[in-house]
Amino acid sequence: MTELGQIAQKVRSKNAGPFWLTIDIFCGSAEVFERVRKGLRDEEVARLYGVDRQLMKRFDIADLNVVKFSFPRPQVQGTRGDRDMHGAGWACLLEEMRID
Amino acid sequence: MATRVLIPTGALGLGYDREALERGIANRPDIIAVDGGSTDSGPSYLGRGVSKYARSSTKTEWRELMRARAQAGVPLVIGTAGTCGADSAVDWLLDITREIAAEEGMRLKVATLRSGQPAGRIKQAMAAGRIRPLGAAPEISDAILDSCSNIVALAGVEQISAALATGADVVIAGRTTDTAIIAALPIGRGDHPGAAWHGAKVGECGALATTQPNSGVIQIDFDATGFTIEPMAAAAAATPYTVSAHMLYENSDPYILYEPGGHLDVTGSDYRALDGRRVRVEGSKWVPGRYTVKLEGARVVGYQSVGLAVIRDRHYVAHAREWAADIEARVAAKIEARMGLAPGDFAVELRLIGIDATLGTLENRRDLPVEVGVLGILTCPTPEQAAEAAKILNPYLLHHPLTEDEPMPTFAFPFSPAEMQRGALYEFCLNHVMELDDPMEAFRLEVQDVGHEVGHD
């Protein structure tokens, strides 16, 4: 088990418009991509962000060695409960997640 | 006909490499296109109809681009002027343009494209079944639409093309899609539509799709089969990886991009390095669909005051959560009792910076920091009430003990007064599209002559 952020090149989260969040895991190599692709289970990622798994989109992009998740923002951007206007801080949760 | 688009930066006000801009001008572009905003800084800018960037920075960079335009003798177009693209933001940039033209002795034809929408138009469209929610859209009603301080529709290539067709030297557009200002001329000249939209998406953030994102300036050549991207900074390079990876950026689906009148599909795109710094892309597809424009709206949902204190005492740092929860409950009770507000009408929240201020309940680390910033946020129906509520919070932030039988603590206040008025809290309240029969029916295009006839002395 290791933290995802220690094997991936970069984990980035960002708004995709005010209502969606998108997280890109740049794996950096085909080998790490395979490990991340197999090691990340949808239900665990959904639980990490407290989102409905049915609403979560996942893209395993072999050409780029990227795994991407998109889902409705846990809080809509700029609402009273929103803590992170640009959504960049959410990447840390995946970065620190332990995978096989 | 091949079309060369010069993109100076990802957003006016962000800065760019001056030498790279000069190189771009020397390459004789057909148009200079720059983005002026996005929703990314939050709803307050649209709500107030103002720019997030300093007027002085905007004026400095806009002056340089206006000079570059004069030198190249081609149109300069900006989309989503003034961060939010509301009509007032278009007026703001038009004012700046007039000032610069007068100072530089430039005489210009300026087209403005206004994207502001009266609530009545959206309500009528809703009643006619011509408004459709996008993913995770909030519920809307006539009352919510009426309460918006600004509603804008995102213009596409049709509206930008109409503005360019006036023969304007400068086009100041309100809210547009990020891509439309780049895709408009290539599409108008019959270049490959899939390539036009795809190249525009790659180029909308300036040099972000290259190895030197901060250099800003890129050039994209569009033609009948594809596009070629080249960064203008000498040391920057576009690679098949940096270009293809850009479809990921701020995009919930990395293969599909919805635009007015259809969508871009890059599933079959081929990215090829022409040399160490230029990339050729072919195979992108434009799929025409119904003509819809996306809507954005913002409205006031309350007023806020904030208070800030810092806890350095180790014992209090260790028990910050329970301390904060206790204060929230006590302050809420006092606001009800003393100000007469009902529980649902106001909110008291203490965010603990150093503990979980970024992630809230999603935070799963429990390490103790050296100190904790306590950001007290009070939300009330009026600014006066928010100010009053912050004063009720103040003594707790300064002195609240964890238990009754310990000495009175005092925490660090960075300011006097410790509380600050944040003004209105705005919310985005639309994530919908509106169907149009005529792309221009929801937009207003005007042309004006700007500037002195005599030079500046």
C-alpha to C-alpha distance for B60 and B415, rounded to whole angstroms: 34
Instruction: Select from A23, A45, A93, A97 the residue whose CB has the most chain B CBs within 10 Å, as the one to mutate to test that interface.
Output: A93
What does the pLDDT average to over B154-163?
98
Q: Both tokens of residue B20?
A: 């790279």
Q: Which domains does chain A have, with CATH numbers?
A: 2-99 (3.30.70)
C-alpha to C-alpha distance for B289 and B213, rounded to whole angstroms: 33
What does the pLDDT average to over A23-27?
97
* Residue ranges of E strands in B38-187: 76-83, 108-114, 131-133, 148-153, 170-173
**What are the residues whose beta carbons fall under 8 Å from the beta carbon of B126, sequence distance 6 or more?**
B140, B142, B145
Over residues B342-353, the pLDDT tens digits come to 999 999 999 999
Q: What is the mean pLDDT of chain B?
A: 96
What does the pLDDT average to over B362-388?
97
What does the pLDDT average to over A22-47?
97
What does the pLDDT average to over B228-233?
97
What does the pLDDT average to over B438-444?
98
3-class secondary structure, A79: coil
What does the pLDDT average to over B56-76?
97
- B426: nearest CB among A16, A59, A78: A78
- A59: nearest CB among B254, B351, B357: B254
Q: How confident is the model at residue B456 (pLDDT cuts 50, 70, 90)?
A: very low
Its ipTM equals 0.95
| Cβ pair B158, B445 in contact under 8 A | no
Q: Residue B38 pLDDT more than 60?
A: yes
What does the pLDDT average to over B176-205?
97
Instruction: Select from A13, A60, A92 the residue whose CB has the most chain B CBs within 10 Å, as the one to mutate to test that interface.
Output: A92
Inter-chain residue contact B252 with A70, CB threshold 8 Å: yes
pLDDT at B453: 55
Chain B environment of A78 (Cβ under 8 Å): 42-44, 426-428
Q: Residue B452 pLDDT more than 80?
A: no
What does the pLDDT average to over B186-200?
98
Q: Which CATH architecture has domain B299-428?
A: 2-Layer Sandwich (3.30)
pLDDT at B1: 85
Q: Which helix (H) or strand (E) holds B374?
A: strand B372-380
* Radius of gyration in angstroms for the set of CA atoms belonging to chain B, rounded to a whole number: 26
Q: Residue B186 pLDDT more than 50?
A: yes
A69 — contact with chain B (CB < 8 Å)?
Answer: no
Inter-chain residue contact B425 with A80, CB threshold 8 Å: yes
Enumerate helices (H) and strands (E) in chain A, giving the number of each: 4, 6
Q: Both tokens of residue B312?
A: 């350095």
| Cβ pair A19, B137 in contact under 8 A | yes
Q: Which residue of chain A has the CA closest to B245?
A: A64
C-alpha to C-alpha distance for A9 and A26, rounded to whole angstroms: 6
Q: Residue B382 pLDDT more than 50?
A: yes
What does the pLDDT average to over B181-201?
98
What does the pLDDT average to over B253-274?
96
Q: Taking the domains of chain B in order of start, what are their residue ranges? A: 3-115+154-291+436-451, 299-428
A72 — contact with chain B (CB < 8 Å)?
Answer: yes
End-to-end CA distance of chain B: 41
What does the pLDDT average to over B277-306?
98
Inter-chain residue contact A57 with B253, CB threshold 8 Å: yes
Over residues A44-92, the pLDDT tens digits come to 999 999 999 999 999 999 999 999 999 999 899 999 999 999 999 999 9
A24 — contact with chain B (CB < 8 Å)?
Answer: yes
How much of chain B, in percent, has pLDDT values that exceed 90? 97
A51 — contact with chain B (CB < 8 Å)?
Answer: no
